[in-house]
């Protein structure tokens, strides 16, 4: 029986041809089919490593032109996984240990080659494992510094780069500039599209942003739709502004995904080194809060960081934190404002309005915290909390014998588009003893117009559950008859601004008349908001408005007070 020979590509670093022959002979005897090359200095070694792949290196220690440790270093730099065994006549214990520490796999004495063949066999096996391990480590390291979704640098790598760019700036007086970019309405889109398409969209955005980045600059993704661009040297604000405009221009063309055209805008906040901060995290944070200000101006805008913005951002941060606690600890309240039939004076429904009694700042108005809740995503849990509380309170109205016909709850656009909202309504309504059409949701025009197709689908699904749909603040947005027809809408709420100047402004009267006529054609009910005076009430009645709410009748009331209010009216 003939043993299968194992082929071995051996690179030998050795100055003595006699030793070479001796070593090769004992390897052949050990069952290897050896193909080998002998080199004796660094240049030859580098050339040999460059020319072909080797299975193992055997190296002498002391040579006229070279020594084993240098050879080891040269090999490990170029082929880190290649096994390296020292075979020497002279090496002492100390040097051997040092060689092992520097990455040699083993060392043997030339006068005792008995261990050579077993050592080679072992190293050939181990080399495969070492290679796999090294690749795994490399991947880990890459993952630690990169965002998996887009492959872009993450926050950690961005910090490193900022440190470098700052250090360079201190020597060369360059002007590093950080831009924080956030996609307007992306969170809604992501809730709507689902995360798979949302991820695709983010990758497409990353690709477009890569095009504006030069080699010395950095594009990073911090998570979600937050991208940061670090420009190593932007001479002045004008140049920074021009750059930011160029970035926004990358969004002029729609993104094509899954057969859909998606239009995205980007808001950009800009912070400059050193005047806006000389620490990486601070500069990023300042660019981020400038971005929030840009967003508040309606999106697609650009904002430089400033002291006022920093102060406002700190305040906003506190509110967000306190609000998160308040929701978790049930510290919010819901008040109810009655809605009245203008002709009979009967109560037709109530609108639920959230209230926040802050432990230090007193009652905080929804206008101050709802926008922050929207931006931070807290609106989803807040909205759900309000809905649950309102439905629970409705049971209390019922038990007190004064259940109004309808309960209206405000729904943010993010709730409307969120995939879990429908199921939440289903659960809530399934467990409720209240009548069909009892629950009503109020949405703004701009909310439904963010994604009309999806809005129609989601509103129809909610309506199938027995929920009525009202358009809030009506008249301030698009208000075209054409779009109204396409939506499943039951109620229009005339915005307070038209009611306010009713006595003074002829135009407002004309608008209200038109809204009422439109509603009649489309079979919708109309509620006027913000009625404060008898005069406003009478004019609205004359214009044919059926229902209204406002301080004239009642302010929003805590649950117990509302029950008293309802009971008094019922007796009257
Ligand atoms: P909105 O939905 O238009 O609510 C009507 C607002 O007008 C309420 O302000 C109400 O107190 C106020 N109001 C009612 N009658 C009169 C009046 O005669 N005169 C005047 N000047 N104001 C009147 P509020 O409670 O401060 O709420 C402000 C906004 O916050 C709401 O406007 C709504 O958009 C939002 N909001 C309130 N609660 C919630 C909620 O639970 N979820 C969501 N998503 N938004 C809410
Ligand atoms: Ca409302
Ligand atoms: Ca309103």
The span from the CA of 279 to the CA of 171, in Å, is 16
Roughly how many angstroms between the first and final C-alpha of the chain, as a whole number?
Answer: 113
Whether 412 is in the pocket of ligand 1, judged by its Cβ within 6 Å, is yes
Q: Residue 282: which residues within 8 A CB-CB, separation 6 or more?
A: 276
232 CA distance to ligand 1 centroid (A)? 47
What does the pLDDT look like over 224-269, one tens digit per residue? 899 999 999 999 999 999 999 999 999 999 999 888 889 899 999 9
* Beta strands per DSSP E along 305-388: 333-341, 347-358, 362-364
550 CB less than 6 Å from ligand 1?
Answer: yes
Q: In Å, how far from its chain's centre is CA 171?
A: 35
Q: 451 pLDDT band (50/70/90 cuts)?
A: confident
Set out the domains of the chain in order of their start, with CATH numbers.
Answer: 6-143 (3.40.50.2300), 155-305 (3.30.70.270), 322-495+551-571 (3.20.20.450)
- Name the residue of 410, 412, 551, 557 to mutate for ligand 1: max ligand atoms within 8 A of Cβ: 410
Report the separation in Å between the CA atom of 353 and the middle of ligand 1, taken as the mean of its atom positions.
6
What are the C-alpha distances in Å from 310 to residues 1, 207, 306, 450? 84, 31, 6, 30
CB 296 within 8 A of CB 314: no
> What is the pLDDT of the chain when averaged over all its residues?
92
- Cβ–Cβ < 8 Å for 156, 210: no
Per-residue pLDDT at 3: 56
**Residue 376: pLDDT over 90:** no
For residue 333, the CA-to-ligand 2 centroid distance in Å is 16
Mean of pLDDT values over 536-548: 96
Cβ–Cβ under 8 Å, residues 372 and 320: yes
Check pocket membership of 354 for ligand 1, CB cut-off 6 A.
yes
Could you give the dihedral angle defined by the CA atoms of residues 553, 342, 411 and 434, in that order, rounded to the nearest 10 degrees? 100
> Ligand 2: distance of its center to the CA of 318 in Å?
26
CA distance 522 to 486: 11
Q: What is the mean pLDDT of residues 397-420?
A: 94
CB of 383 shorter than 6 A to ligand 1: yes
Residues by chain with Cβ below 5 Å of ion ligand 2: 410, 442, 472
- Judge if the beta carbon of residue 404 lies within 6 A of ligand 1: no
Please name which ligand lies nearest the alpha carbon of 549: 1
Mean pLDDT of the 349-371 span? 94
pLDDT class of 437 with cuts at 50, 70, 90: confident
Q: Which atom of ligand 1 lies closest to the CA of 366?
A: 30
What is the Å distance from ligand 3's center to 549 Cα?
10
Mean pLDDT confidence for 11-31: 94
Reported confidence tier of residue 276, pLDDT bands at 50, 70, 90: very high
Give the confidence band of 98 by pLDDT, cuts at 50, 70, 90. Answer: confident
Q: Give percent of the chain above pLDDT 70.
A: 98
| Ligand 1 center to 237 CA (angstroms) | 40
CA distance 434 to 95: 87
Cβ–Cβ < 8 Å for 442, 366: no
Question: For 104-128, how does the pLDDT look when each residue is reduced to its tens digit (9 = 90+)?
Answer: 999 988 888 889 999 999 998 888 8
* pLDDT band with cut points at 50, 70 and 90 for residue 571: very low
pLDDT at 503: 78
546 CB less than 6 Å from ligand 1? Answer: no
> Which value, to the nearest 10 degrees, does the dihedral of the CA atoms of residues 311, 316, 322, 325 take?
-140
Q: pLDDT value at position 58?
A: 96
- Average pLDDT on 461-472 reads 96
Residue 160: which H helix or E strand, with range?
helix 155-172
Confidence band for 80, pLDDT divided at 50, 70 and 90: confident
User: What is the DSSP secondary structure assignment for residue 471, as one 8-state letter?
Assistant: E
Mutation choice for ligand 1 from 336, 353, 380, 387, CB with most ligand atoms inside 8 A: 353
List the structure tokens of 501.
């100047």
**The pLDDT value given to residue 1:** 43
Ligand 3 being an ion, which residues bring their Cβ within 5 A of it?
472-473, 529
Q: What is the pLDDT of residue 570?
A: 67
C-alpha–C-alpha distance, residues 501 and 122, integer Å: 92
The predicted-structure confidence for 289-329, as pLDDT tens digits, reads as follows 999 999 888 788 999 999 999 898 888 889 999 999 999 99
Closest ligand to Cα 354: 1
């Amino acid at each position: 029986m003939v043993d299968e020979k194992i082929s071995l590509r051996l690179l030998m670093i050795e100055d003595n041809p006699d030793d070479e022959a001796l070593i090769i002979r004992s390897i052949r005897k050990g069952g290897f089919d050896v193909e080998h090359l002998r080199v004796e200095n660094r240049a030859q070694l580098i050339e040999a490593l460059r020319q072909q792949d080797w299975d193992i290196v055997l190296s002498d220690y002391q040579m006229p032109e070279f020594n084993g440790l240098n050879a080891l270093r040269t090999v490990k730099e170029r082929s880190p996984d290649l096994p390296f065994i020292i075979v020497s006549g002279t090496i002492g214990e100390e040097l051997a240990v040092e060689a092992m520490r520097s990455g040699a796999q083993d060392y043997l004495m030339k006068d005792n080659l008995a261990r050579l063949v077993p050592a080679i066999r072992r190293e050939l096996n181990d080399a495969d494992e070492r290679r796999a391990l090294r690749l795994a480590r490399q991947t880990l390291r890459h993952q630690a510094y990169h965002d998996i979704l887009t492959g872009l640098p993450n926050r950690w790598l961005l910090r490193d780069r900022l440190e470098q760019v700052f250090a360079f700036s201190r020597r060369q007086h360059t002007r590093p500039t950080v831009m924080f970019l956030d996609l307007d309405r992306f969170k809604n889109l992501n809730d709507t599209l689902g995360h798979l398409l949302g991820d695709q969209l983010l990758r497409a955005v990353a690709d477009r942003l890569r095009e504006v980045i030069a080699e010395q600059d950095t594009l990073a993704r911090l998570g979600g739709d937050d991208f940061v661009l670090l420009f190593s040297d932007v001479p002045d604000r004008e140049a920074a502004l021009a750059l930011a405009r160029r970035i926004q221009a990358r969004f002029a063309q729609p993104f094509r995904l899954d057969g859909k055209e998606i239009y995205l805008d980007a808001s950009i906040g800009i912070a400059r080194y050193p005047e806006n901060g000389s620490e990486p995290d601070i500069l990023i944070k300042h660019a981020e809060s400038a971005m929030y200000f840009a967003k508040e101006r309606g999106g697609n805008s650009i904002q430089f960081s400033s002291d006022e913005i920093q102060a406002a951002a700190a305040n906003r941060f506190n509110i967000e934190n306190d609000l998160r606690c308040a929701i978790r600890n049930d510290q919010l309240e819901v008040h109810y404002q009655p809605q009245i039939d203008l002709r009979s004076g009967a109560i037709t429904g109530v609108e639920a309005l959230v209230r926040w009694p802050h432990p230090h700042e007193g009652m905080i108005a929804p206008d101050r915290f709802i926008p922050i809740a929207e931006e931070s995503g807290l609106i989803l849990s807040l909205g759900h909390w309000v809905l649950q509380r309102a439905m629970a309170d409705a049971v209390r109205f019922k038990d007190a014998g004064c259940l109004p016909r309808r309960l209206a709850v405000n729904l943010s656009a993010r709730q409307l588009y969120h995939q879990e909202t429908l199921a939440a309504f289903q659960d809530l309504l399934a467990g409720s003893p209240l009548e069909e059409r009892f629950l009503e949701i109020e949405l703004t025009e701009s909310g439904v117009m963010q994604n009309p197709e999806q809005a129609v689908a989601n509103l129809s699904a909610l309506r199938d559950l027995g929920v009525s749909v009202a358009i809030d603040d009506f008249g301030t947005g698009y208000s075209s008859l054409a779009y109204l027809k396409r939506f499943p809408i039951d109620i229009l709420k005339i915005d307070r601004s038209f009611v306010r100047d009713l006595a003074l402004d002829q135009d407002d009267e004309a608008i209200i008349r038109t809204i009422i006529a439109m509603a009649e054609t489309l079979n919708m009910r109309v509620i006027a908001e913000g009625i404060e005076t008898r005069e406003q009430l009478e004019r609205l009645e004359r214009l044919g408005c059926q229902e209204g709410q406002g301080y004239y009748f009642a302010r929003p009331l805590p649950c117990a007070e509302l029950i008293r209010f309802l009971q008094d009216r019922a007796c009257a």
